[in-house]
Amino acid sequence: MPERPEVAPLPTLLRLMAALRDPMRGCAWDVAQTFSSVAPYTLEEAYEVVDAVARGDMADMREELGDLLLQVVFHARMAEEAGAFGFDDVARTIADKLIRRHPHVFDASGALLPEGGAGPSSIAVEAQWAAIKAAERRAKGAPEGAGIDPLGGVALALPALTRAEKISQRAASYGFDWPDAAEVIGKVREETDEVAQALGQGDPGAVAEEIGDLLFSVANLARHAGVDPEAALRAGTAKFERRFRAMAARLEEAGRPLPDCDLPAMEAAWNVVKRNERGG
């Protein structure tokens, strides 16, 4: 039996997506989708890529990247059907952006500069990238007579901690920032006191507002410390999960199922688990 000729994977994927969206012969579910209905899946697949990266699971990462690519292809196909743009336009746009934002690597045509190599330092490249992005935002412009939004372009759909970090970074680029992490710690303590005050007043709205201020300050602290707040929170949550399960297992082995335990018993087991983790 002759072997089938090798088919380029990306054109195959684009063809399959077009077939799935065919109103007469495609899949009813795929045909019924819209940008809005697909968007939550796009976000979910992006998180699953991040999860695979965190676990260092290369096989799973390959699969999850494919799922994420499918989301790009899906949106591009719907846009093509609407006469807006197609997948090639998406690829061309990001290629042009990469060339434009790496003037130390490519010339205007996209050819590699003869000097190549490391070029500017990482810090200089980051500053250059930010300046180019700011210029791009200005080039997009605003209605005549309106100013450019200094905090514009930070997606509302980002996780709240990530968006807080990005907004504070944008403000910092204008010089509106604390001088160092120690100053931010003072702000965190101030916000914690204000949370306590709001709790004492028994005002749920004020409590929610002050907790929001506290979380924003913590995101700023993470930025000053060079820590990704989302990654730090994921790691902290994973540590809590690990210790809670170990605590429950320890109590179960002692003949005390978790639902039958009081708080002092759980705290005692929790402290043992913490000491064991720390080798103490």
| Burial (Cβ within 10 Å: 0-12, 13-18, ≥19) of residue 108 | exposed
Alpha helices in the chain (DSSP H): 9-20, 28-32, 35-55, 58-81, 87-101, 122-140, 160-172, 181-201, 204-224, 229-253, 263-277
pLDDT band for position 167 (50/70/90)? very high
Fold of 9-93: Helix Hairpins (1.10.287)
Q: CA–CA separation, 207 vs 196, rounded Å?
A: 8
- Given this model, what pLDDT does residue 145 score? 43
Q: Model confidence at 102, in pLDDT bands (50, 70, 90)? A: confident
pLDDT at 143 over 50: no
Nearest to 79 by CA among 14, 139, 29: 14
Q: Which of 147-156, 158-167, 225-234, 242-251 has the lowest mean pLDDT?
A: 147-156
Q: List the Cα angle 242/246/250 in 5-degree steps.
A: 175
The average pLDDT across 126-136 equals 76
Local confidence band at 109 (pLDDT 50, 70, 90 cut-offs): confident
pLDDT exceeding 90 applies to what percent of the chain?
A: 68
The pLDDT, as a whole number, for residue 32 is: 97
Residue 144 has pLDDT above 60, yes or no: no
Q: What is the pLDDT of residues 233-276, one digit of tens each?
A: 989 999 999 999 999 999 999 999 999 999 999 999 999 999 99
Topology of domain 149-227, CATH? Helix Hairpins (1.10.287)
Higher pLDDT, 150 or 74: 74
Answer whether 9-93 and 149-227 agree in fold: yes
Give bridge partners of residue 112 from the DSSP assignment: 106
CB 261 within 8 A of CB 255: no
Sketch the domain layout of the chain as residue ranges: 9-93, 102-148, 149-227, 231-277
